Chain A
Amino acid sequence: MLTEVLERSRGLVEDTTYRRALDWKKAGGKVVGCFPVYTPVELIHAGGMLPLGVVGGGTSVELAHADSRFQSFVCSIAKSTLELGFQGRLGLLDAILFSSICDVARNLSSVFKRNFPGVHVDYLHYPQNMSSAGVIDYMESELRRVRDNLQRVCGVEISDDRLSASILVWNRWRALIADLYALRRDEPQKISTVELYLLFRAGTLMPVEEHIPLLEASLAEFRSRTAKPRDCIRVVVEAAFCEQPPIGLIEVLEEAGCYIVDDDLLRGWRFFDTPVGEEGPPLRSLAAAYVDGSTYSSVRHDWRKKRWEGLIDRVRLSRADAVIFMPAKFCEPALFDYVLYREALEKASIPHLMVEFEEKMWTFERTRNEVETFVESMLFD
C-alpha cells in the first residue's frame, strides 16, 4: 500500500495541472489557492472549499510571460506562480490568499489581481508586534475580515460551529504530520525525507478528509518497517519555507549522507507548535495560535524569543549534528536571517552549510560534492 500511496503522492506533487483539485471543481466545489507561508486553512475548509497549496511551478514550468513582469532578481516562485496563471493552469481557483511574508509576495498579489480579475485575491497582513496588548484582537479582526470575504466566495455562512469543526479536522491532520516528523527524527532509517515530503505535500493538494486516512495507514507501515541505520550525520534543514527545492535536491542531501531530522519545508502548513485551541470562539483560538502558539519563522517577527534561539532549540530537540541552510535564490527574508543564524550557530559550535537553490534547478553535482565534503568532514572529525 505504501508504495502506491507514495507514487500517487509524487504524481500529485509533480502535476501542475492540479488534477485532484480539478476533479473537486468538476464536482461543483470551490477551490482557494494558498500561497506560502501560513494560511488559515480552517476558514477555507469551513466554507466547504478546498484549500490548495499554490507553491510555484517546480521544475516543470517554462516562463513565457511572467519574466517580463518580474525582474531577474526576483525569486522563481513569484514568477512561476504568475506563469501558471498566464498558462491557464490556475483557472480552477475561485480565490487565492497571499500574506505579508515579503515585498515580492505582496506585489505579486497585486499583479495577480490585475491580471486575473475573475479570481478573488486577498492579502493578509499578519501582525508583527507580538508584544502589543492589542495584537490578538487585531489578528482576530484580520481573520474575521478574510472570513467575511471568503463567505462571499463560497456563498455559505462560515459559522463558528463550522469553524470549530474545521479546527478539529486540521488539528488532527497536523498531529499526524507531526507524528511523521517525530518518526523521522527518532528512526530516520524508517522514513526518508523524500517519502515524508511527498506524502506531506500531497495533503496540500487534496481534500483533508481523504488525506487523513492515507496518513494513518502510511504511518503504521512506516513504523513497522525494519531497516538498519546508515552512517549519516543528522541535520536540520532551515530556510526552505516558501519556494520549494526540487525533490532531486532533497535526494542529493540524503544520498550524500544526511539524515534530515527536522526541516522547514512547507513550514506554513505545520505552523503551530501546539494544537489550535478547540474550545471557545474559534476565530479567537486561531488568532491566539498565530500569536502565541506558532513556530519561529523568517516571516514572523517575534522578539520575545529570538528566531535564532528557536533554531538552536530545534537543533537540540532533534539531536542534530549540523544545520543545512537552504534558502531559495533571491529570498530576502531567508537571506537576511542567515547572518544572525550563522552568528548564533557559530557561538554554539554547531557546524553549518549554505546550499542555495532554485525550484527549477536540475543539476545537482556541485551541491552533491559540497554536501559530501561537509558530511565527510564531520564523520571523520
Chain B
Amino acid sequence: MAAERQYQGVVHERSREIMSAWYDDLARAAKTGEPSACLMISGNCVEILRAFDIHPIFPEVNALQMAIRKQALPMILKAEQMGYSGDNCAYVKADVGFLMSGGVGPTGTIPSPSIVVCNYVGCNVYVKWFEHIAHFCKAPLFMLDIPFLREKAPSKDDITYVMKQLQELIALCEQVTGKKFDIDKLREICRYAARAEDGWARAKDLCKAKPAPFDAYFDSINMMGPINVLRGTKAAADFFDAAVAEYEEQVALGAGPLPEERFRIITEGPPPYPYYRNFRNLFAKWGAVSVASTYSTVGGLWEYGFRHDPERPLESIAEQMIVHNLTNRSILDRYQQIKDYVERWEADALVIHSIKSCRLFSAGQGDMREYFTKELGVPTLLVESDLEDPRYYSEAQMKNRIDAFFEALEHRKLVNA
C-alpha cells in the first residue's frame, strides 16, 4: 500500500496553533467561570461577544473535533438513549452526548455557557439544538432570529428587526459581564475581522490559478476555524496574511496540494469528518482538486466582497448575518453560487457530498444534480454519507462511485481532446 499521503503545510500548523490557544482559553474558562457564550458558526456575530470579552463556544466545532478524532459514536449512542432519533442531526447528538458525559462545565474542557446565543441563520436545527443546550445547562437563551433571504435583498424591516435584536443582545451581554458596551472596541474588532476577510477572499481567489495552490474543500478547513471562530482577533488577521503569502508563493512556483492537478472540481456539502482523510485520498488518487466549495462559505461569502465595516459595525454585522453567508440563502442561490464557481474557477465537474444529518444542505440535492447535468451539462457526482456519524460511511461503495465517475470523466477528456 502506498504511504499515507501528508497534506499538512505551514498554514495547517499555524491554524492549529491559534485554534489550540482558543481551546486552552475555553478549558481555563471552564474552571474559572469567566463569562462564555454558545454560538453557531453560520453567519455569526462573534464580534459582539468579543467586544465584551465573552469566550465564544462553538458546539459545532466541538462536534466536528469529536468526529475527526473518531470519538463521536459513543456520544451519539448516548444521546440516542435519551430519546434522540437515528434521523436527527448527529452534530447535535454528539454534542449533547458530550455534555451529558461531563465534557461541559468544571469537569470538562468546555465552559458551561453563561448565555446561549442562537444565531438562527437558516438552519432550523440550530433552534432545537440551542433550546436543548439552554435547557440542560440551565442557561438563558437568546434567540437571534435572522429573517431568511427570501427576496433579492432584505427589506428595511428585516434589517430593523435584526438591529433591534442586536441591541437587545448587547443589553444582555452588559448584564452578564457587568461591562458597558464600547463601540470603539467593536470598531477595532471589525477592523481585524475585515483584514481576515480580505485574506480569506484573496486565498479563495488564488484557487483560480492552475494548479490551485490548495484544496478549497479539504484544506479550507484550516481557514474556517480562524475565520469563523477567531474572526475579529489580531491572531486571525495575522494568520490570513501569512496564509496568503504562502499560497501566493505556491502559485508563483506552480505548485498545488497534489503532485499533479488532473481534474478541477467544485465540492458541495460538508465533508465526512469521521473519514476525512480516507475520503480525501479517494479524490487525490485521481489528481482531483477542489478549486472551490460551498461548505467553506457557511460562515460567510467574503469572496464576493462583503467586509465588516468599522464605520458601521452593527449594521455590517446585521448585513453579514442576513445576506452574506450560505446558510441564510436559498438552495437556488446556492445553484447560482456553484455555477459561478464552475465558470470562473474553471472546473471540470461538480461533486455533491450528501449528508444524512444535514438537511439544510442535502434536502433537494437530487434536484441540484438534475440542474447541473441536464440544464448546464456539468458532470455531477452525488455520493452519500454523514458528517458526524461513522455508521453511514461505506468506503467500498464510496470508492466505486468515485472511481467510476473519474474514469468517465477521463474518458470524456480524451474524447474532447
A11 CB to closest chain B CB (Å) equals 33
Q: A125-B148, A303-B143 are in contact. Are A103 and B356 (CB under 8 A)?
A: no
Cβ–Cβ contact A332 & B161, under 8 A: no
Cβ–Cβ contact A125 & B150, under 8 A: yes
Residue from A110, A127, A335 within 8 A of B145 (CB atoms): A127
Count of interface residues, chain A, beta-carbon cutoff 8 Å: 54
- Interface digits, A114-133 against B, CB 8 Å rule (1 contact, 0 not)? 11000000111101110111
Q: A106-B148, A106-B330, A108-B364 are in contact. Are A141 and B83 (CB under 8 A)?
A: no
Chain A residue contacts of B134, Cβ below 8 A: 303
Cβ–Cβ contact B165 & A107, under 8 A: no
Cβ–Cβ contact A132 & B165, under 8 A: yes
Stretch at the interface among A152-160, A171-179, A337-345: A337-345
Cβ–Cβ contact B164 & A134, under 8 A: yes
Q: Does B365 contact A (CB under 8 A)?
A: yes
Q: Does B61 contact A (CB under 8 A)?
A: no
A100 CB to closest chain B CB (Å) equals 6
Bound: A102/B362 CA distance, A: 13
Cβ–Cβ contact A134 & B165, under 8 A: yes
Chain A residue contacts of B330, Cβ below 8 A: 106-107, 109-110, 123
Cβ–Cβ contact B364 & A111, under 8 A: yes
Chain B residue contacts of A141, Cβ below 8 A: 155, 157-158, 161
Chain A residue contacts of B122, Cβ below 8 A: 103, 106
Stretch at the interface among B39-47, B343-351, B366-374: B366-374
- Interface digits, B3-17 against A, CB 8 Å rule (1 contact, 0 not)? 000000000000000
Q: Does B235 contact A (CB under 8 A)?
A: no
Q: A69-B367, A110-B330 are in contact. Are A123 and B127 (CB under 8 A)?
A: no
| Residue picked from A104, A111, A115, A142, most chain B C-beta under 10 Å | A111
B337 CB to closest chain A CB (Å) equals 13
Cβ–Cβ contact B85 & A102, under 8 A: no
The chain B residue with its CB closest to the CB of A342 is B83
From 129 to 187 in chain A, residues with beta carbon under 8 angstroms from any chain B beta carbon are: 129, 131-135, 137-138, 141-142, 145
Bound: A113/B335 CA distance, A: 13
- Interface digits, A57-90 against B, CB 8 Å rule (1 contact, 0 not)? 0000000000111110110001000000000000
Chain A residue contacts of B125, Cβ below 8 A: 103, 332, 336
Q: Does A329 contact B (CB under 8 A)?
A: yes
Chain B residue contacts of A129, Cβ below 8 A: 143-145, 165
Cβ–Cβ contact A69 & B370, under 8 A: yes
Residue from A68, A74, A122, A125 within 8 A of B147 (CB atoms): A125
Q: Does A333 contact B (CB under 8 A)?
A: yes
The chain B residue with its CB closest to the CB of A354 is B83
Cβ–Cβ contact A123 & B150, under 8 A: yes
Residue from A67, A107, A145 within 8 A of B364 (CB atoms): A107
| Residue picked from B150, B160, B165, most chain A C-beta under 10 Å | B150
Q: Does A101 contact B (CB under 8 A)?
A: yes
Q: A103-B125, A141-B157, A337-B128 are in contact. Are A133 and B164 (CB under 8 A)?
A: yes
Chain B residue contacts of A338, Cβ below 8 A: 83, 85
Bound: A68/B92 CA distance, A: 27
- Interface digits, A284-304 against B, CB 8 Å rule (1 contact, 0 not)? 000000000000000001010
A286 CB to closest chain B CB (Å) equals 15
The chain B residue with its CB closest to the CB of A74 is B363
From 302 to 347 in chain A, residues with beta carbon under 8 angstroms from any chain B beta carbon are: 303, 306, 329-330, 332-333, 335-340, 342-343
Chain A residue contacts of B164, Cβ below 8 A: 132-134
B83 CB to closest chain A CB (Å) equals 4
Cβ–Cβ contact A332 & B365, under 8 A: no
Residue from B141, B354, B366 within 8 A of A69 (CB atoms): B366
Bound: A115/B164 CA distance, A: 37
Cβ–Cβ contact B124 & A101, under 8 A: yes
Bound: A306/B123 CA distance, A: 20
Bound: A128/B362 CA distance, A: 23
Cβ–Cβ contact A128 & B148, under 8 A: no
Q: Does B360 contact A (CB under 8 A)?
A: yes
- Interface digits, B324-339 against A, CB 8 Å rule (1 contact, 0 not)? 0000001110010000
Count of interface residues, chain B, beta-carbon cutoff 8 Å: 52
Chain A residue contacts of B384, Cβ below 8 A: 71
Q: Does B89 contact A (CB under 8 A)?
A: yes
Chain A residue contacts of B168, Cβ below 8 A: 132-133
| Residue picked from B125, B155, B363, B366, most chain A C-beta under 10 Å | B363
Chain B residue contacts of A104, Cβ below 8 A: 359, 363
Q: Does B87 contact A (CB under 8 A)?
A: yes
Cβ–Cβ contact B366 & A68, under 8 A: yes
Chain A residue contacts of B360, Cβ below 8 A: 103, 107
Bound: A335/B87 CA distance, A: 8
Residue from B89, B148, B364 within 8 A of A332 (CB atoms): B89
From 351 to 390 in chain B, residues with beta carbon under 8 angstroms from any chain A beta carbon are: 354, 356, 359-360, 362-367, 370-371, 384
Q: Does B413 contact A (CB under 8 A)?
A: no
Cβ–Cβ contact B82 & A339, under 8 A: yes
Residue from B85, B132, B161, B371 within 8 A of A138 (CB atoms): B161
Bound: A330/B83 CA distance, A: 14
Cβ–Cβ contact B160 & A71, under 8 A: no
Bound: A197/B192 CA distance, A: 59
Bound: A220/B274 CA distance, A: 62
Q: A110-B330, A339-B84 are in contact. Are A71 and B354 (CB under 8 A)?
A: yes
Chain A residue contacts of B217, Cβ below 8 A: none
The chain B residue with its CB closest to the CB of A115 is B367
Chain A residue contacts of B87, Cβ below 8 A: 73, 329-330, 332, 335
Cβ–Cβ contact A339 & B132, under 8 A: yes
Cβ–Cβ contact B332 & A110, under 8 A: yes
Q: A104-B363, A110-B330 are in contact. Are A138 and B131 (CB under 8 A)?
A: no
Chain B residue contacts of A335, Cβ below 8 A: 84-85, 87-88
B86 CB to closest chain A CB (Å) equals 9
- Interface digits, B71-97 against A, CB 8 Å rule (1 contact, 0 not)? 000000000001111011100100000
Bound: A103/B157 CA distance, A: 23
Bound: A101/B88 CA distance, A: 15
The chain B residue with its CB closest to the CB of A337 is B128
Q: Does B412 contact A (CB under 8 A)?
A: no
Chain B residue contacts of A101, Cβ below 8 A: 124
Chain A residue contacts of B161, Cβ below 8 A: 127, 132, 134-135, 137-138, 141
From 301 to 315 in chain B, residues with beta carbon under 8 angstroms from any chain A beta carbon are: none
Q: Does B135 contact A (CB under 8 A)?
A: yes
Bound: A103/B359 CA distance, A: 6
Cβ–Cβ contact B332 & A113, under 8 A: yes
Bound: A103/B122 CA distance, A: 8
Chain B residue contacts of A125, Cβ below 8 A: 147-148, 150
Q: A110-B332, A129-B165, A332-B125 are in contact. Are A134 and B160 (CB under 8 A)?
A: yes
A332 CB to closest chain B CB (Å) equals 6
Interface pairs (8), CB distance under 8 Å? A108-B364, A114-B335, A125-B150, A132-B161, A134-B161, A332-B87, A333-B124, A340-B132
Task: Name the 7 nearest CB pairs between A and B, nearest first.
Answer: A141-B157, A134-B164, A336-B128, A129-B145, A138-B161, A107-B364, A335-B85
